Amino acid sequence: MTEAMAIEMTVNGRRERISAPPETPLLYVLRNDLGLDAPRFGCGLAQCGACTVHLDGNAIRSCATPVEAARGSKVTTLEGLAPRPGVLHVVQQAFIDEQAAQCGYCINGWIMSAAALLAGNPRATDDEIRRGLAGLKCRCGTHMSILRAVKLAASRMAAKA
């Protein structure tokens, strides 16, 4: 482990200055230094997606992303996904409407990944959604309601567009 360095980034719209060894996984900085607990440790191997955050709008696995990669970038976590306080992101609302959670430990990853997927492709088909989210795990088996929720969000985005 190398020496701690000062690293600046914007997290959920706020400028943050972090002191950490540059190879520290972004996940631990978000959780333990910034108190943002929605990204979760699932595997530490970028295999499950529970730690997903947006880095400059792209869904990335924060457990396998060194904090240095976020230097000068915009990081958005589930806590900052909603457009403004008191309003939910269309994907969050769809997950509530479809009751898309069991234990919910993985839900961060599904919502953050689906939000990024639909931002790039609001008219995603069933097949595109399934393939786009194939790299995420849910051990409880919540997939059916998650798929319905993402499709519902897509249809609402399409209706607005």
Partner 1 sequence: MDDVVTHIGASRRDFLKAGGALVVSFAVPGCAVESMKPSAALPEPGAWPASIDPNALDSWLRIGADGSVTASVGKIEAGMGVGTSFAQIVAEELDVPLERVTIVMGDTATTVNQRGTGSSNGIIEGGEAMRRAGAQGRATLLALASERLGVGVEALRVKEGVVFAAADASRRASYGELVGGRLLDVKVGEKPALKKPADYTLVGKPVPRMDIPAKVVGAYRYITDLRVPGMLHARVIRPPQAMARLQKVGAATLPGLVRVVHEGDFLAVVCEREEQAIAAARALPVEWSQPAPAFWRGYDELYAHLRSAAPRTTRSEGLRGDVDVALALAAHRLEASYEYPFQSHASMGPACAVADVRDGGAVVWFAGQKPYPLRAAVGNLLKIPAEKVRVVWRPGPGSYGMNDADDCAMDAAFIARAVGRPVRLQYMRADATAWDPKGPPVAIRMRAGINSAREVFAWDYEARGFSGRVRNNSTDFGGDALVGQLIGGQRVKSTDWPQFSSESYTFPNARRVSHIVDWNRSMATGLRTAHLRDPDGMSTCFASESFADEVAYAAGMDPVAFRLRYLGDARDKAVVEACAAKAGWEAHAAPRAPRGRIARGQGIAYAPRNGTAVAVVAEVAVDRETGRYRVTRFTCAHDCGFVVNPLSLRGTIEANLIQGMSRAMHEAVRFDATRVLSADWISYPIVDMTEVPDAIDIVIVGNRPEARSRGAGEPATRPVAAAIANALHDAVGARIRRVPLTPDAVLAALKA
Q: Which is nearer to partner 1, 56 or 126 (CB)?
A: 126
Q: Return the number of the residue (9 or 94) whose C-beta is nearest partner 1.
A: 94
The whole-angstrom distance between residue 131's C-alpha and the CA centroid of its chain comes to 17
For the CB of residue 76, give the shortest distance to partner 1 in the complex, in Å.
11
Q: Which residues bind partner 1 (CB under 8 A)?
A: 1, 24-25, 28, 31-32, 36-38, 40-45, 47-48, 50, 77-79, 82, 88, 92, 95-96, 99-108, 111, 129-131, 133-147
| Nearer residue to partner 1 within complex by CB, 9 or 50 | 50
3-class state of residue 61 by DSSP = strand
Provide the edge-to-edge strand list for the sheet that holds 74-76: 14-20, 5-11, 74-76, 52-55, 58-61
Q: Are 121 and 128 within 8 A, CB to CB? A: yes
Minimum gap (Å) between residue 81 Cβ and partner 1: 8
Instruction: State how far the Cα of 50 lies from the Cα of 137, in Å rounded to an integer.
Output: 8
Q: Which is nearer to partner 1, 9 or 81 (CB)?
A: 81
